[in-house]
C-alpha cells in the first residue's frame, strides 16, 4: 500500500522537536550575547537539524521590525539581529562545511525593500499552494508552487525554494506527471539535506517514492526508501515500520527483475 505523498510531505514537526527547538533557541540567545564562538560551534554540532530554524528566527524578527514601521524602522534593532544571524550562520558553515548557511543569511540581510516584499510573496504563494492541494486543485497548486520557487531562488531563499520544489512535486504527483514530480522532489531533497531539515527531507523522500514506483525505477526507489527509513527511525518509528515493509516489496521487485 502506497503512503500518500501529500500527507507525508506535510509531516508535522514532532512535539519533542518543538520543545527542543525552544531550548536550543534559548541557549542560542545566551551564546550570542556572550559572543562565544566555541560555544556556538558546540551548539550547532549537537543540533545540526535546528541550525537554520534557530538563526532564521533572528532574520524573521528583523523583517517583522522593518514591516512594523517601514517609514522609520528600528535600524539599530534590525542591525543587531542581522549581525547575530550572520555570525551564527558563518559558524554553522564552518562546523558543517556547508556554505548554504552563510549564503542564506547574507542573502536575507542584503535584500532591499522590494526584495523583502518578494520574499513575503513567495511565502504566501507556498501556503496558498498547500491550501489548493488540500482542496484537490492540483493545477492551481502547481502554478502557486512554481511562483514560490521562481521568487525564492533569485533571492537566495533556499528554504523557500525547497518548499516551492516540494509543493511542485506534490502537485505533479496529483496530476500523474511522475517524471516532473521526481525532478521537483529531487531538488527539494537536495536543498533540505544541505539545510539540515531532516523532517522535510523525509517528507519529500517518501513523496518521491510514489512516482519512482509508478515509473518502475526500482533501484532508485530502493535507495530513496532506505534513506527515508534511516531518517524515520529517529523521529517517526511508526512510519519507519511502514517503510521497512515498503522496502521489502521494492526488494522483491528487484529480485524478480
Is pLDDT of 94 > 50? Answer: yes
User: What is the pLDDT at residue 6?
Assistant: 45
219-238 mean pLDDT: 95
Name the band, by pLDDT with cuts 50, 70 and 90, for residue 19. confident
Question: Which residues of the chain form beta strands (DSSP E)?
Answer: none
| Rounded Cα distance, 175 and 47, in Å | 37
Nearest of 157, 184, 159 to residue 171 by alpha carbon? 184
Is pLDDT of 209 > 50? Answer: yes
Task: Dump the DSSP string for 33-75.
Answer: HHT-HHHHHHHHHH-GGGHHHHHHHHHHHHHHHHHHTSSS--H
Just give the CATH number of 114-256.
Answer: 1.25.40.10
User: What is the pLDDT at residue 234?
Assistant: 86
Is pLDDT of 169 > 90? Answer: yes
Is pLDDT of 13 > 90? Answer: no
Nearest of 65, 14, 76, 49 to residue 235 by alpha carbon? 14
Is pLDDT of 17 > 80? Answer: no
User: What is the pLDDT at residue 8?
Assistant: 41
User: What is the pLDDT at residue 257?
Assistant: 74
113-138 mean pLDDT: 97
Is pLDDT of 10 > 50? Answer: no
201 within 8 A of 185, measured Cβ to Cβ: no
Angle, helices 15-34 vs 51-68, to 10°: value is: 70
Give the percent of the chain with pLDDT over 90: 91
Is pLDDT of 238 > 50? Answer: yes
User: What is the pLDDT at residue 9?
Assistant: 45
Is pLDDT of 5 > 70? Answer: no
Average the pLDDT over each of 49-58, 140-149, 164-173, 233-242 and give the range with the smallest value: 233-242
User: What is the pLDDT at residue 16?
Assistant: 54
Task: Tell me the pTM.
Answer: 0.92
82-103 mean pLDDT: 98
Name the band, by pLDDT with cuts 50, 70 and 90, for residue 184. very high
229-249 burial, b for 16+ CB within 10 Å, e for fewer? Answer: bebbeebbeebbebbeebbee
242 within 8 A of 206, measured Cβ to Cβ: no
Is 127 exposed, middle or buried, given 0-12, 13-18 or 19+ CB atoms closer than 10 A? middle
Amino acid at each position: 500500500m502506497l503512503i500518500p505523498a501529500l500527507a507525508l510531505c506535510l509531516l508535522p514537526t514532532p512535539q519533542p522537536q518543538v520543545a527542543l527547538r525552544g531550548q536550543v533557541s534559548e541557549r542560542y540567545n545566551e551564546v550570542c550575547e556572550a559572543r562565544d564562538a566555541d560555544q556556538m560551534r558546540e551548539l550547532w554540532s549537537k543540533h545540526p537539524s535546528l541550525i537554520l530554524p534557530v538563526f532564521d528566527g533572528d532574520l524573521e524578527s528583523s523583517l517583522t521590525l522593518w514591516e512594523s514601521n517601514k517609514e522609520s524602522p528600528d535600524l539599530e534593532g534590525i542591525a543587531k539581529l542581522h549581525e547575530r544571524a550572520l555570525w551564527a550562520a558563518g559558524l554553522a558553515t564552518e562546523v558543517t562545511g556547508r556554505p548554504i548557511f552563510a549564503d542564506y543569511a547574507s542573502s536575507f540581510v542584503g535584500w532591499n525593500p522590494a526584495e523583502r516584499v518578494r520574499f513575503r510573496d513567495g511565502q504566501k504563494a507556498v501556503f496558498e499552494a498547500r491550501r489548493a492541494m488540500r482542496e484537490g486543485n492540483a493545477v492551481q497548486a502547481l502554478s502557486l508552487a512554481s511562483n514560490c520557487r521562481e521568487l525564492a531562488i533569485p533571492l537566495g531563499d533556499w528554504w523557500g525554494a525547497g518548499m516551492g520544489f516540494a509543493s511542485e512535486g506534490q502537485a505533479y504527483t496529483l496530476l500523474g506527471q511522475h517524471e516532473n514530480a521526481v525532478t521537483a522532489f529531487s531538488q527539494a531533497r537536495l536543498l533540505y539535506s544541505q539545510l539540515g531539515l531532516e523532517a522535510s527531507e523525509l517528507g519529500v523522500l517518501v513523496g518521491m517514492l510514489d512516482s519512482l514506483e509508478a515509473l518502475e525505477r526500482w533501484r532508485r526507489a530502493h535507495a530513496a526508501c532506505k534513506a527515508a527509513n534511516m531518517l524515520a527511525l529517529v523521529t517517526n518509528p511508526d512510519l519507519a515500520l511502514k517503510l521497512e515493509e515498503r522496502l521489502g516489496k521494492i526488494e522483491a521487485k528487484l529480485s524478480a527483475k
